Structure 1
Amino acid sequence: MLDYPWSSIAGGYALPPRKRAKWLAADSGLKAFELPDTTAGRRRMIERLDRRALSEELKQCGVPPQNAGADARGSHLRRGWFWGTQAFGEAMRKLAGNSIKKRQPRSRNYQGEPHVAAHGMQQAEAWLEQGLGAAGLTRSGLAELKGSDIRKLLLADLLWRRTTASQAWLAERLAMKSAANVCQQLRRLNRNKALTQATPAFQAFFKNCTSS
């Protein structure tokens, strides 16, 4: 248990009172096992937890078993979420290369099932086409516009927030250089101010999409 530093055991229960966080009610936890908050009591609690961890069957804990020859330094986890921007996630995937699966966790609040993602991309394609028309733009003309063009940014903002489109996809479709650039531009965007500079047709399109 002490080998795992991100728990309340190594960073709390194993430490004397003066060295652990004041908010951690370790004494109450120890009392639940009828153990004193002393060096011996804390040691007994850790030993108890170690025995429990060794005796539990992995399949009952929700942990998939690893092959005997697997590198213990690697994680057994294959699904989950990352905390950060889409650009950060894509940068980490590039560093990992082929060591991770193609299907990756997403940082937004929707399920990653294939049928949900497919529907989201269909919506993204449809709204992109409609938005370009409402903004008076064509796909072929996007490359001639700056990445900071208000019409591009409003479309990127809409599709990023309301569909499953990635920032890499937005960068490619809207000619905005890279996912990192899309991320940076969206962080700077003042949506309400930008909308006042859009055409009435685009404002109506944007409002219709965000109210659906």
Structure 2
Amino acid sequence: MARQLRIEYKGAVYHVVARGRDGAAIFHDDTDREAFLRTVGEACARGGWRVYAYVLMANHYHLVVETPEGNLSTGMKWLQNAFTRRLNGRHAGWGEVFGDRYRAIVVEATGGGYLESLVDFVHLNPVRSGVVKSRKDGALAGYAWSSLAAGYAVAASDRPAWLAVEAGLQRYGLADRAADRRKFVARTQALARETGGEVTGPNDGAQNTLHRGWYWGSPAFREKLLKRLERPSARLKPRAAQSIRPRDRRKAQEWLDLARKHFGVTGDFAKAPRAARVAAAWALHSRTNESQAWIADTLGLRSAANVSQQVRSVDQGTHAALAGEKRWRSWERLVRAGA
């Protein structure tokens, strides 16, 4: 079977689906689901992604994700590898968690109702799959592992910053306020009652295209995508060249410059005090898609494995080098806020 087309460009929106290996469960309990959503949040912070909708099922997940930097492949590689390590570590497992390649269908998001129909498609998945058996009001909104319940139904302070609820509501002519959020949830629940979760798109059945196609949009959108494929820059680069993208490097340089200013580093960063190098490594790892090997080389740390170890210690709050660094807490706040 031919591999699915991968088209990447700045501002692209995708419907991403990934399934467990051989149909096996990805999520064994709520702790696994919470860990996955945290990992998605980290992927968004690293790659600048915005998520319009998601749903977690037992053996697969759906994401509707926008990539302002055109970096879906890099981010998805990190997301699935990171979650696999974490899941295997928690359950003393080994090997692959996800089967085959993830599917990523490019979506027309500039009009025509395609993005809106896709958000509906994702939110209605629990009804369509039979996990939510009742079509009564409240049943679908009670499914906790969906952006309908955990995002669109709650105030901004109660949902993750990476979830683009305000932008999503605007697509339906609604504002991010309690009354309009209730309207959105009621509208989605009405669709569940009326259709059983079978969403019909603007020009074609969303069900068929979203499961089998390579794009979701108008004929004109399809032509634009085909023209992109004719350009060498639109095709994915060989595997060896995919790890570094020009925008990622500019982003990394911005964080290095911020770290220099914050910690008073001049000259070669690799010769800076250890606390500054560790703090910069943590920022680069959590806010960019740069490889651990590049971070190690840039900051004078021993190896990629050493970077991983340093970052883990920072996340756990146990790194000795930062304990006495007066500027660490303000740096931590700056990094977590995304500068």
Q: More relative contact order in 1 or in 2 (CA 8 Å, sep 6+)?
A: 2
Which has the larger helix fraction? Answer: 1
Fold similarity call, TM over 0.5: no
